[in-house]
Amino acid sequence: MASLGKISIPHAPSSDLGLLRRRFDRRMQTRIGYNHRIASVLTNNASSVKQSLSERVIEEEAKVLVGTYARAPIVLLSGKGCKLFDPEGKEYLDCASGIAVNALGHGDPDWLQAVTEQASVLAHTSNVYYTIPQIDLAKRLVASSFADRVFFCNSGTEANEAAIKFSRKFQRFTNPEDKEVATGFIAFSNSFHGRTLGALALTSKEQYRTPFEPVMPGVTFVEYGNVQAATDLISSGKIAAVFVEPIQGEGGIYSATKEFLQSLRSACDASGSLLVFDEVQCGLGRTGKLWAYEAFGVTPDIMTVAKPLAGGLPIGAVLVTEKVAGTINYGDHGSTFAGNPLVCNAAIAVLDKVSKPSFLSSVSSKGQYFRDSLVKKLGGNSHVKEVRGEGLIIGVELDVAANSFVDACRDSGLLILTAGKGNVVRIVPPLIISEEEIEQAVEIMSQNLTVLE
């Protein structure tokens, strides 16, 4: 049980987390307010029931944070590998990985070394100056992809905002004599590209957009996979760029077909539109390929990446061809924090590990094992309609809302997510998950199927 004076965690998950926990003790008492102020409030309230540390954190959150995410009622204090622990010592198997961010799990030693060594030398300079980790990371990204150049930012939505600007600038630069330059965009049903105003305009769910309208004009939504509708619109000559996720994550774990993406490529080539692949969630090893586009034999003009790149630190990147990069001038776009030495050194550690052929092969094989196990253990349930995905981005489609199932699994020690229209269970574990942990996850899910009745 946690005490007011000092946070103690029983059943410590690993001895090597001792220093981390002690640091958390100090930070929690200082930053979240579990100091004499909280102690005084509880002491002076004679009728107050003794609270756990988790309960106090949740209570304090409601007082100081803007309510954006509907949080699950748990507090996470430490993690190791694919396991997370709350302040009371309860263990959770993490199959959410910070919404597909923690590709190497929690506390990876190579990542930790990269962060601590760089933090001790140089963390931030701004983009006014050159730094070595930024150049090294960019070189690695270029060498491992279709791209010729990289623009760094701080998140997936920022990457898509940059791609929007680059697309508009490209059209104006390459068509200087045209009075009406192509400024429109195509996005697709079930798409999710971010929550800032430009990226939000490309996101299909109306409930995300409606409270903030008017958002950026000029976006037309087309049914995901509808070749004819997309090519007809692209051929109009009014489309600056087409934004598409090779595999939709938030939208419900839907994969594009090779025919669909190839048709987009051909239509964009014919019209002069740019093709933008959003691999913020499905890229960087998640599918068993380093980049999701590799499975389709189609390369974009621009690709946005973010979530797993720095292993939990905020980063985004826009990968572009030379024809796009050549239209962007100094001052057209920028960022103070983007690509600083700390996050870039962390990202180098992630990219070097994830890009190894043996690592990617393991993601493919574990993903197949996970899907096969889900079909075997869950497929007989009448509410389970489909198990789909590639590598370790997996969706289980239900014919009912998935919230109660996700909640029940969480109470049983498994963290998973929802997607789609709320009826898809999204499974995006750390890419280092073991077969034993996969079996544990499937067993917990199987045991909780009764809540769907």
Q: Furthest-apart CA pair in the chain: how many Å? A: 77
Confidence check: pLDDT of 340 > 70: yes
The answer on 216 and 155 residing in a single domain is yes
Nearest C-alpha neighbor of 165 from the set 334, 291, 293: 334
In a domain, 378, yes or no: yes
Confidence check: pLDDT of 11 > 60: no
The answer on 415 and 350 residing in a single domain is no
Mean pLDDT, residues 76-87 taken together: 97
**CA count, 13 A, side-chain hemisphere, 189:** 9
The answer on 443 and 393 residing in a single domain is yes
Tell me the per-residue pLDDT of 155-183, one tens digit each, with 9 for 90 and over: 999 999 999 999 999 999 999 888 899 99
What's the mean per-residue pLDDT of the chain? Answer: 91
In a domain, 84, yes or no: no
Model confidence band, residue 387 (pLDDT cutoffs 50, 70, 90): very high
Tell me the per-residue pLDDT of 49-73, one tens digit each, with 9 for 90 and over: 578 999 999 999 999 999 888 899 9
Confidence check: pLDDT of 79 > 70: yes
Confidence check: pLDDT of 13 > 90: no
In a domain, 102, yes or no: no
pTM equals 0.89
pLDDT on residue 28: 43
Q: Which of 339, 354, 369 is the last residue of a domain?
A: 354
| Residues of the domain holding 30 | 1-69
pLDDT on residue 51: 85
Give the phi and the psi of residue 254 in degrees, each rounded to 5.
-105, 130
pLDDT on residue 7: 37
Nearest C-alpha neighbor of 287 from the set 359, 380, 229, 344: 359
Cα 245 to Cα 195: distance, rounded to the nearest angstrom: 16
**CA count, 13 A, side-chain hemisphere, 401:** 4
Cα 186 to Cα 220: distance, rounded to the nearest angstrom: 5
pLDDT on residue 14: 42
Give the CATH number for residue 243: 3.40.640.10
Cα 288 to Cα 51: distance, rounded to the nearest angstrom: 44
Tell me the per-residue pLDDT of 232-253, one tens digit each, with 9 for 90 and over: 999 999 999 999 999 999 999 9
In a domain, 304, yes or no: yes
Number of domains observed in the structure of the chain: 3
Cα 343 to Cα 310: distance, rounded to the nearest angstrom: 6
